């Protein structure tokens, strides 16, 4: 992060991975979504920071390396707080809770009720995600697994019928089910909490953003942003 001309404020660059609706997506060349609005509101609550106008749009599994290399200063990508990730980066307090779902083609032959039903099938997830970790840990060699650079690519294969199922965060599964030819087969509890990611030595930023999240949640802003992107 660089100090800016207006003296006091430190400009921070946010990085994300579009294609994960409604948290972050590219609509007509514009980056929009829940995480975009939320991080903007959270940074506005801080005393010492301002957000650079342009976000870095990266593949999901490039976000942590980009943070470590100081190409970005904060990750806002519906990223689940995990112990494994906390070995290399730090997270703010949680700003959203989610479970995982299994997506299948609408009206197709594949209709699983539980993870074990995916055995023998062609299953996809996005590289570096908790969804991918679940497939690897729970199903291993029992499925024919394909890792995609982006969940949108996996959803397209599902629509074409060249993939049987996708493991993906529940709110995103619901959103794809609303506007594509796919449906949620079932949801299973993982109790994931999303946090904004910062470098381990950026304690001040971590604290400022966590306080900002609390302030946004206490004001009407969190509910307004939720209403805007989830209609709840």
Binding residues for ligand GLN (CB under 6 A): 17, 20, 60, 77-80, 126, 129-130, 169, 192
Pairwise CA distance, residues 166 & 36, whole Å: 25
Q: How far is the CB of 192 from ligand GLN (least distance, A)?
A: 6
Structure tokens at 229: 């992107």
Nearer to ligand GLN, 10 or 61 (CB): 61
- Omega of the bond leading into 97 within 30 degrees of 0 (cis): no
Count other Cβ atoms within 10 Å, centred on residue 189: 8
**CA 26 to the chain's CA centroid:** 14
Q: Is 194 exposed, middle or buried (0-12, 13-18, 19+ CB in 10 A)?
A: buried
In the complex with ligand GLN, the residue whose CB is nearer, 11 or 150, is 150
CB of 19 to ligand GLN, least distance (A): 8
Give 77 or 225: the residue with its C-beta nearer to ligand GLN.
Answer: 77
Pairing of strands 122-126, 182-194: unpaired
Which residue's CB is nearer to ligand GLN, number 45 or number 169?
169
Shortest gap between Cβ of 230 and ligand GLN (angstroms)?
Answer: 16
| H-assigned helices in 89-191 | 130-134, 151-160, 170-179
CB of 133 to ligand GLN, least distance (A): 7
- Least distance from ligand GLN to the Cβ atom of residue 206, Å: 18
Q: Between residues 98 and 205, which has the closer beta carbon with respect to ligand GLN?
A: 98
């Amino acid at each position: 992060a660089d100090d800016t001309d207006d003296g006091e404020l430190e400009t921070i660059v946010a990085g994300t991975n579009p294609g994960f609706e409604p948290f972050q997506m590219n609509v007509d060349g514009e980056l929009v979504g829940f995480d975009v609005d939320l991080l903007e509101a959270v940074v506005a609550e801080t005393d010492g920071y301002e957000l650079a106008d342009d976000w870095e749009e990266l593949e999901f599994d490039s976000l942590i390396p980009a943070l470590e290399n100081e190409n970005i200063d904060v990750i806002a990508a519906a990223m689940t707080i995990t112990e494994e990730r906390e070995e290399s980066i730090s997270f703010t307090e949680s700003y959203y809770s989610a479970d995982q779902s299994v997506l299948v083609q609408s009206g197709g032959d594949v209709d699983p009720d539980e993870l074990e039903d995916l055995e023998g099938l062609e299953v996809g997830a996005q590289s570096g995600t908790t969804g991918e970790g679940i497939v690897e840990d729970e199903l291993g060699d029992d499925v024919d697994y394909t890792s995609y650079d982006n969940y949108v690519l996996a959803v397209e294969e599902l629509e074409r019928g060249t993939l049987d199922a996708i493991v993906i965060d529940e709110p995103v599964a619901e959103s794809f089910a609303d506007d594509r030819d796919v449906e949620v087969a079932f949801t299973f509890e993982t109790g994931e909490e999303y946090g904004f990611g910062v470098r381990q030595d950026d304690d001040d930023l971590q604290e400022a953003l966590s306080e900002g999240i609390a302030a946004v949640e206490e004001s009407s802003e969190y509910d307004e942003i939720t209403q805007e992107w989830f209609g709840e």
